[in-house]
Amino acid sequence: MDEVIARLATGFTGLASTEAAQRLHVYGPNELQAPTRVSAWHTFAAQFQNVLILILLGATLVSGFLGHTLEAAVITVIVLFAVLLGFIQEHRAGRALEALRKMAAPVARVLRDAEETVVPTRDLVPGDVVLLRTGDRVPADARVTQAVNLAVDEAALTGESAAVEKTVARFDDAGLSLGDRKNMTYAGTLVAYGRGQAVIVSTGMSTEFGHVARLVETVEASRTPLQENLDRLGATLGKAALAVVALVVAIGLARGLPVIEMFMFGIALSVAVVPEALPAVVTISLAIGVRRMVKRNALVRRLPIVETLGSTSVICTDKTGTVTKNEMTVRQVLADEHLFDLSGAGYDPTGRVLEAGHIVEPSPGVHALLRAAVLASDARLATRDGRWQVEGDPTELDEAAIA
């Protein structure tokens, strides 16, 4: 620990504000590199990356060339409807995600000029001493310098749901896995309970989460099953249209009909092969799926992604907190030699105390038991904008809720 302090040229009382400002200029802000923002024009152009849309555009040109103005106008309206609907949905989702990123501007409590202060997480630098307590999000990778019953939930990084107890002890094995480095805390993880201090060693893209972000950037986005199927359908229809043209022209020429007349007739038949309403129907169906997910507080940036979940046959999940809410609910309390049942669910602090199926007033023993549980807990339960906000260990949060 002393070696880390010396190497980072800091102290247990933190950095001076002037030194922190200089280091911020050297290391840059403590944030992950934002993905390249997709422009509105790019989102609009992406709507045309569909074989069916391209075929319909070709059919529109052919219909107009043949003098079928009404058919050309109808196809144009259908294509524009599908393209604009897809563009509006994806553009709105993109703007909503941008707004969420701007709203999520976390802060951290650090020691600056030997005093505790609150600074934006993006302004943290290596050498800063950060203060950690129950419910805090760890702002950067840091070496623990003080730990009082400190445990951190590292599920977001390691996948392990059980909180890891932290220590200030030194480990000489340099090959330890992330989950075994108990004297380190990592950006993006959550303090489950306890309190402590840690000196920051890595920020931004140099953190473990930054390494994960770099790996994610190298992954190429694949096309969804629906997109692949529509492309195959479009290619099949295109080949069928060409075959129709060739067959009609060949038959007509064999019967001695004029070449131009037969060619025009074949083109007209090929246009009829293409289902003009299919892109619009698909877009409307996906848009309805997006709206339903929005009602469930889930944002989808690209329409075809909605269909991917419907194509999923196997979902691999990890126990508590993945397919459940990771909430605990006390059902019974033993006090004054009586067993009481408690109603209610989750962290909503409402419910009744029952004995033998009848609602009763809590006894002094129940009050004393719950009071002791709350006093021994670091969890916090509060209401903001009409919604309950919780911070801390699930067990202690349930104690806070029933108390």
Which of 344, 345, 340 lies closest to 365, judged by CA? 340
Structural tokens at position 46: 């992406």
Known catalytic residues are 318
Helix (H, G, I), strand (E, B) or coil at 170: coil
Distances (CA, A) of 330 to 320, 349, 392, 401, 402: 17, 11, 16, 9, 8
* Residue with tokens 């001695």, as numbered in its chain: 256
Residue 388's DSSP bridge partners are 383
Count of residues making up the chain: 403
Contact 335, 369 (CB under 8 A): yes
Q: Which residues contact 287 (CB under 8 A, 6 or more apart)?
A: 85, 86, 89, 303
Contact 224, 249 (CB under 8 A): no
**How far lies 346's CA from each of 9, 196, 239, 383, 402, in Å?**
46, 28, 58, 14, 10
What residue spans of 104-158 are helical by DSSP H? Answer: 155-158
